[in-house]
Amino acid sequence: MTDNHHPPLRSFGRLKSRPIKPRQAALMETRLPGLRVPPGPVDPAALMPGARETWLEIGFGGGEHMAAQAARAPDVLIIGAEPFLNGVASAVRHIDEQGLENVRLHDGDVRELIARLPDASLARVFILFPDPWPKTRQQKRRLVQPELVAELARVLKPGGRLRFASDVASYVDQALERFIAHPAFAWTAGRADDWRVPPADHITTRYEEKRLGDCAPVFLDFLRR
Residues designated catalytic: 131
Contact 105, 32 (CB under 8 A): yes
> How many residues are there in the chain?
225
What is the rounded distance in angstroms from the CA atom of residue 33 to the CA atom of residue 210? Answer: 32
Beta strands in 59-182 (DSSP E): 76-81, 103-106, 122-128, 156-166
Number of helical (H) and strand (E) elements in the chain, helices listed first:
10, 7
For residue 106, list its beta bridge partners.
Answer: 81
Of the candidates 31, 98, 97, the residue with the CA atom closest to the CA atom of residue 70:
98
| Positive/negative CA dihedral, 129, 174, 5, 150 | positive
Spatial CA neighbour of 12 closest among 84, 104, 87? 84
C-alpha 147: how far from chain center = 16
179: how many CB neighbours lie within 10 A of its CB? 22
